[in-house]
Structure formats: structure tokens, C-alpha cells
Amino acid sequence: MDALIGARLHTPEGFLADRALVCADGVIRDIVTEDTVPADARITQLEGGTLAAGFIDLQVNGGGDVMFNDAPTAATIARIGHAHRALGTTAFLPTFISGPRADMARAVEAVREALDRAMPGVLGIHFEGPHINLARRGAHDANEIAALGDDDIDLLASLGAGRTLVTLAPECVERDSIGALAARGVIVAAGHTEADARTFDMAAPQLKGVTHLFNAMGPLGHRELGAAGAALTRDHLACSIIADGAHVHWDVVRLAWRAKPRGKLFLVTDAMAPVGVPALDEFSLGDELVRVVDGCLRTADGRLAGSLLDMGQAVRNCVAHVGIPLEDALAMAAAYPADFLGLAESRGRLAPGLRADLVWLDDELRVRATWIGGERSDTSEVG
């Protein structure tokens, strides 16, 4: 049994001072006052700061100088997870961007192996495409975008464990196909889409969310809602957002935070290979060269291609640039993505009975250490 003391705790009831988080066997057992820690507990003294639920990132394309698309193997997943853990992420969905069906099948096998091995942090898989709108493809390979058929449904739903998230354009697939995916346990989100509000409504209730709100979708209009407007005004839809200041203006992040019901806006990174490798200034995305330009990732013709963002930086950005209170920003990085995946009973909050997946932040909100299933790593060890 371990007791962590010395940092304030971010809990569903708010911030708690002078409390100890008691963990055993990878699970949070209790939250007690520091003077009532069980006598048999090993005490770890933290040096101030905030102890919170570890961050959960549902859109991780790469990190640590590798891309999941380039080498869809368990080793690649481990390397990506290692890089992101140093930055506060304790659980994630390896994300496969529109690509060949054979590579998609390899990605499923890689995630299945990672889950079988209980690889730290791996929750399942996110397929972003290939069933998206060509006009809103962003940096996706136009040659890989295709209609959704029965064989594709079988592939997308083939993991059989963990969670599968699929981003598709609802106007480009049959409504029955969305229902078929949902019936097989797949979480379906709209993205890279020109769908109007009527299309969003027709896809309900099988459509659960929206991927990287405002990006690669029809914009909010004052006469026609567009995909972004529909996402904002359909309260049942949970929306992810990339809070790096390049994908979405800070004021628009604030607008989304105010518009969506509590718990229905959460952070993702859309991270690429350079995350965790500051010296890496270019990489390949399929046949395209992507370069770091003014702190962003761009193709040769100037299109955004994922991000350099990590979840710790996303939280700091929300506080410093958007004005979101820290307690809400932390929930957007942990509790709300856990809720979206249907994992609220096991992850995303500091509460008895939930996994001891934790992040310790200093007073500048920099990551000092993480725990996955109660196992600690300091940033110097995983960076």
C-alpha cells in the first residue's frame, strides 16, 4: 500500500489540500487526511503542486520519432506511449490515419498484441478515416479515401478488445452502416466532413462525437449551421478539440467551451512523430514531407498535418490562453475522454476504486511524474 502526500489533489469534488491518496494493487483505495494515513502504508512525499488523474489522449498518431501508420506494430505503440507518458499521458488510442486496408489490419493486430501484453496506457485503436469526405481530407492521402463497405465494417470492428473509435464523414456513408458499427461496439465520431445539421441528426443516436472540432469540417455559419455549428449545438455530441493556438483560435476554443454542456468538450493532441523529440523538424506522412514551421506541422503546400502538441501543454494552454479554470482543463484532459469511451467507472478521476493512473504537476503545471496502474515514472526516466 502506498500513500502520496504533499500535493493538492484534483478530485470530482474539487481541489483538496492536506490529503493523501492511498493506492494498492494499481487501484486508488482511499483519500484520507494526511494525519490518518494507514500505518502500514509506504509514504511518498510530493513537493507541492497538483496530483491529478493521468491524461487520456484519444488521437495519437505518433511520437518519439515514429508514426503508427509507418510501422503499425506493438513496438511502435510502445515507443509512442513512452514519449507521451513523459508529457503526462497515461492512456491513449494509437491512431491510424487513412491508409491501405492491409496496414489497417496490421494496426488492429498490433493493438491486439499490445492489449494482450497489458502494454501501459493502451486503450484500443482510433481509425481516422479512410471513410471521410475528400473535400475535407486535410493531410490525408486522397488515394486512400474510399466508401464504406461490409468488409470495411468487419475490419473496423475486428479488434475484439479495448475500445475502437472510428472517425468518418456521415454524409459519405449509409446511416445503416453507422448503426452496424455501433452495434458491434465501435464508437463513431464525425470528422473530415461537410455534413449539415440534418445529416448529423439522421445519424443520431449512433453518432457519439465529433473529431477535432472546427478542423477539416464545414464552418459555423449564421444561416447554415455547417458541421461545426451542428457539433456545437447538438448537446449529445462530445467534441474533441486541438488546443495549440494554430488549429483553433484561442477565442474560438473559449466559444466551444462555453457552448458545449459540461463534459462534452475534451482535449486531444493529434500528435505526430516529433512530439517528445524537439530536435526533429521534419518527417514523412505517406508520400508527403511534413515540416515544423513556426511551431506547427505543415505540408509543402501549407496544410496543417497533425500537431506538435502534448496533453500537458494542452492543459497549460487552456488555462493561460483560453481562461479555462484549471479544474475544468484537467477534467477535459482525463475525465471527459474517459466518459466518452465509456470508462468512467475505471479511469479519469481521483476516486476510490478507479485505476491509479496519475500525473503530478508542479506549480507551473509542468509534468513531474506519472503513475500507470500505480507504477511511477519520473519525467527524467521517460523523457
Tell which residue, 372, 349, 364, 316, has the closest CA to residue 49: 364
d(CA 166, CA 107): 13
Tell which residue, 249, 239, 176, has the closest CA to residue 212: 239
What crossing angle do the helices spanning 250-259 and 226-233 adopt, rounded to 10°? Answer: 40
Phi-psi region of 219 (alpha: psi -120 to 50; beta: other; left: phi over 0): beta
Q: What is the pLDDT of residue 383?
A: 43
How many alpha carbons lie under 13 Å from residue 146 in its C-beta half-sphere? Answer: 13
d(CA 321, CA 249): 10
Q: What angle do CA 305, 339, 80 make, to 5 degrees?
A: 40
Q: Catalytic site residue 70?
A: no
How many alpha carbons lie under 13 Å from residue 82 in its C-beta half-sphere? Answer: 14
C-beta separation of 167 from 124 below 8 A: no
Per residue in 8-55, pLDDT (tens digit) is 999 999 999 999 999 999 999 999 999 999 999 999 999 999 999 999
C-beta separation of 273 from 65 below 8 A: yes
Q: What is the pLDDT of residue 286?
A: 84
What are the cell numbers at 329?
Answer: 482543463
- Determine the distance from the C-alpha atom of residue 296 to the mean position of all C-alpha atoms in its chain, rounded to a whole number: 19
Pairing of strands 66-67, 50-53: unpaired
Phi, psi angle pair for 23, to nearest 5°:
-130, 150
d(CA 287, CA 206): 34
Per residue in 295-353, pLDDT (tens digit) is 899 999 999 999 999 999 999 999 999 999 999 999 999 999 999 999 999 999 999 99
- Cα-based distances in Å from 43 to 17, 350, 369: 16, 18, 16
Q: What is the pLDDT of residue 116?
A: 97
Q: Return the number of other C-beta atoms located less than 10 Å from residue 94's C-beta.
A: 28
Q: What is the pLDDT of residue 71?
A: 95
Place of cell 483538496: 16
Q: Return the number of other C-beta atoms located less than 10 Å from residue 146's C-beta.
A: 15
Q: What is the pLDDT of residue 278?
A: 87
| Active-site position among 57, 196, 270, 310 | 270
d(CA 64, CA 66): 6
Instruction: Write down the H helix ranges in the chain.
Output: 74-85, 101-116, 150-156, 175-183, 197-203, 226-233, 250-259, 311-317, 326-333, 335-340, 379-382
Pairing of strands 358-361, 282-285: unpaired
What are the cell numbers at 232?
Answer: 456545437
Q: What is the pLDDT of residue 380?
A: 58
Q: pLDDT tens, position by position, for the chain (383 residues)?
A: 999 999 999 999 999 999 999 999 999 999 999 999 999 999 999 999 999 999 999 999 999 999 999 999 999 999 999 999 999 999 999 999 999 999 999 999 999 999 999 999 999 999 999 999 999 998 899 999 999 999 999 999 999 999 999 999 999 999 899 999 999 999 999 999 999 999 999 998 999 999 999 999 999 988 889 999 999 999 999 999 999 999 999 999 999 999 999 999 999 999 999 999 988 899 988 888 999 998 899 999 999 999 999 999 999 999 999 999 999 999 999 999 999 999 999 999 999 999 999 999 999 999 999 999 999 998 755 44
d(CA 233, CA 70): 37
Q: Which amino acid is at 174?
A: E
